[in-house]
Amino acid sequence: MSTSSLGGAFTLPGTSLSLKRMGYGAMQLPGPHVWGPPRDKAAALAVLRDVVALGANHIDTAEFYGPGVANSLIREALAPYPRGLTIITKVGFVRGPEGSWAPDHTPEGLTRAVHENLSSLDLEALDVVNLRLGGPHGPDERSVAEPLGVLVELQRQGLIRHIGLSSVSPAQFAEARAIADIVCVQNQYNLAQRGDDEFIDALAAEGVAYVPFFPLGGFSPLQSSRLSEVAAELGASPKQVALAWLLQRSPNILVIAGTSSQAHLRENFASADLALSPAQVTALDGIGGGE
């Protein structure tokens, strides 16, 4: 398997961070429902080491994955971190004692979250921090000014190098851009959920990265006869085709498919070498409108 290119590279705007377009998301490292320790700690550490060994240079994580579990595994597996590895984290949500998810956009909560990420990852500054807005089911339209202002102040203090946004609308992005330099947007998007098509194109025109979360459908895995047919044509898995479609969808898309399996990691990364024909792309594009 050739993974040297990993889909090419994209440089985050206004930075020297040239990220391979295929990265890794750490959400699946903790136990079931992103809660508690991993089922197999040794396997989780091996996956993280493989991420770097196979050529990926960015990992997406959050203190609330576990909580604290994903970050501690990343630190144990990879610190001292190899030169060129970018760790991207997010703040704005907390976990309840029973595993629930709740937004926390208070100045105190956001500041605490940044310091928790610094501590658990053993870093002096965070490369990129995504401000996770909205609710559990997607963006809302509330102003981003107050919570974003907190991150801008922490950036001024040298604790954050660059700022991104997660689960935001185009209007919120426009408001944020008037307050701070935004290097990336992380929203839900995949073959079947195409609500951000115009947003992706607008961000590409501005040179801003778009990072789809749940690229394979998340808690509702992608299932489609068209997807299966194209996969059969290519001798690939449906998951590989879905990831390859994202990489071909727009040059500013960065993929962070997550897994706790070394075999699945290699399968995911191999999708960067998969080339879809125009006819296959057209067939897959129809999935977003229903079959």
Domains and CATH numbers, the chain: 9-224+251-274 (3.20.20.100)
Measure Cα distances from 71 to 92, 192, 243 in Å.
16, 30, 25
Residue 15 CB burial class (10 angstroms; 0-12, 13-18, ≥19): middle
Q: Name, in order, each residue with C-beta under 8 angstroms of 279's C-beta and a sequence gap of 6 or more.
A: none
- pLDDT over 90 for what percent of the chain? 89
Does residue 2 have a pLDDT over 60?
Answer: no
Residue 279 CB burial class (10 angstroms; 0-12, 13-18, ≥19): exposed
Q: What is the pLDDT of residue 224?
A: 85
Q: What is the pLDDT of residue 152?
A: 98
- Contact between 12 and 2 under an 8 Å Cβ cutoff? The reply is no
First to last CA, the chain: 33
One of 65, 81, 189, 210 is an active-site residue; which one?
A: 65
Residue 217's pLDDT band, with cuts at 50, 70 and 90, is confident
Range in 55-64, 153-162, 197-206, 222-231 with the lowest mean pLDDT: 222-231
Q: What is the pLDDT of residue 289?
A: 56
Round to whole Å and give the CA distance between 63 and 93. Answer: 9
Residue 137's pLDDT band, with cuts at 50, 70 and 90, is confident
The mean per-residue pLDDT over the stretch 94-112 comes to 94
Q: What is the pLDDT of residue 220?
A: 64
Question: Between these two residues, 66 and 289, which has the higher pLDDT value?
Answer: 66
Does residue 291 have a pLDDT over 60?
Answer: no
Q: What is the pLDDT of residue 3?
A: 52
Residue 286's pLDDT band, with cuts at 50, 70 and 90, is confident
pLDDT digits (tens, 9 = 90+) for 223-269: 789 999 999 999 999 999 999 999 999 999 999 989 999 999 999 99
Range in 70-79, 111-120, 123-132, 214-223 with the lowest mean pLDDT: 214-223
Which two three-digit tokens encode residue 91? 């703040």
* Complete edge-to-edge strand list for the sheet that includes strand 86-91: 24-25, 58-60, 86-91, 126-132, 160-166, 182-188, 209-213
Q: What is the pLDDT of residue 219?
A: 65
Does residue 221 have a pLDDT over 80?
Answer: no
- Contact between 188 and 138 under an 8 Å Cβ cutoff? The reply is yes
- Contact between 120 and 91 under an 8 Å Cβ cutoff? The reply is no
Q: What is the pLDDT of residue 290?
A: 47
Does residue 91 have a pLDDT over 60?
Answer: yes
pLDDT digits (tens, 9 = 90+) for 144-196: 999 999 999 999 999 999 999 999 999 999 999 999 999 999 999 999 999 99
Which residues share a beta bridge with 164?
Answer: 130
State yes or no: is 189 an active-site residue: no
Q: What is the pLDDT of residue 216?
A: 86
Q: What is the pLDDT of residue 158?
A: 98
